[in-house]
Structure 1
Amino acid sequence: MPQALEPASSGLAKTSEGKAAEVEALIAPALQAMGYDIVRVLLSGGERLRLQIMAERQTDGGMNVDDCAEVSRAVAAILDVEDPIESAYTLEVSSPGIDRPLTRLADFDRFAGFEGRVEMVNPIDGRRRFSGRLLGTRGESVVLDCEEGEVALPFAALHKAKLVLTDELIAASRQPAHPDMPIDSPAAGEAVAKEN
């Protein structure tokens, strides 16, 4: 069974872009001081925007409903003062879930041994999408064992990546001693707190 490493709070990351990156820059210091790492900040929607913040505890990578509520209150207070989003929006704070996005270079080491799916910004050897077992990192590249063999993909050219929901990943998430997916992490879904 794959063993994952401790949660990473530093290193190369692709956790947000555009206005969401501005929001992340505002809230990250407070959340880090509270003991949380940001996994992803996403701003989406049309007339009614949705600001989604995925976070996890720095200590064990878990995130339960109480954690989500605590983060939600802190983020709402910061955004009420800073007001970086001009129109109305719904704030949603959630755990990354089991088939979580892989947004930091260190995530590929942390979840080595599990199945992953990676999409590149531009094609590499005629392909933009790669699936396979995560083998970790090599320098600033992520390494996957795909059907055609081992492939190293530059993290800087990555568009998005996530874990693939497999029986092995579900089983690992249910083990209380698993360092990255503690028992209070949502095995059947995601812990979510919403505010309007």
Structure 2
Amino acid sequence: MQTETIIGALEAKINALLEAHPAHFLVEVRIKPTNNIKVFIDSDEGIILSTLIEYNRKLYKEIEESGLFPADDFSLEVSSPGLDEPLKKHRQYKKNVGRYVHITRNDATVVEGKLLDASDEGVIVETETGKGKKKEIKQETVLFSDIKTTKIQVKF
């Protein structure tokens, strides 16, 4: 079976599990050539480890029973996307309003600043240039169609 077909089947199983929890959503499913399945689940208000463990157990059982992988030759990891994972879903942008982001556009230019809002079309980022009296604060709109990657930045 092709990887895309397997990912589609897994996404359907995961989305069925998530139906009972509307705040939880699937971000991404990845399968390595070694049949290591990585599932990233997020939530509008954050997700706790015990919930991810529960999803892992239920999904593992469903995959075993489905026969997607002959001789149960697979491993499964269910986690929330970490800070090193780029934002992929609109809901992730909404959830992270108020945090600092690093956006790389398709043309390789970069926008760094505070995420102020996320609409259906794009995001508004507050950027700062200069220091002291020359400090300038601007708002910049970046369309989703222009975004290559967006990562959360941790500021101390």
Is 1:162–2:147 an aligned residue pair? Answer: no
TM-score by length of 2: 0.69
Change (3 A) 1:71 1:98: same
Report what 1:153 is aligned to.
142
Is 1:49–2:38 an aligned residue pair? Answer: no
Q: Could you list the runs of 5+ residues in structure 1 that have no partner in the other structure?
A: 1-16, 168-196
Q: Distance in 2 between matches of 1:62 and 1:32?
A: 15
Q: Which region of structure 1 is more displaced relative to structure 2, 139-148 or 21-30? A: 139-148
Q: Deviations over 1:93-135 (max 9, x none)?
A: 1133456642322332322221112334x32xxx354332111
Is 1:69–2:50 an aligned residue pair? Answer: no
Cα pair 1:36 1:55 within 8 Å, conserved: no
Q: Distance in 2 between matches of 1:139 and 1:31?
A: 23
Matched to 1:110, the amino acid is K
TM-score by length of 1: 0.57
Matched to 1:107, the amino acid is Q
Report what 2:24 is aligned to.
37
Percent identical among aligned pairs is 19
Change (3 A) 1:99 1:164: farther
Superposed, 1:8-157 pairs within 5 Å as 18=4, 21-22=7-8, 23-34=10-21, 37-46=24-33, 48-56=34-42, 60-64=45-49, 66-84=50-68, 88-97=73-82, 101-120=86-105, 122-123=106-107, 127-147=108-128, 149-157=138-146
SS at match of 2:20: helix
Q: Could you list the runs of 5+ residues in structure 2 that have no partner in the other structure?
A: 130-137
1:31 Cα deviation from its structure 2 partner: 2.2
SS at match of 1:112: coil
Q: Which structure: larger Rg? A: 2
Q: Alignment length, in residue pairs?
A: 144
Q: Distance in 1 between matches of 2:43 and 2:144?
A: 24
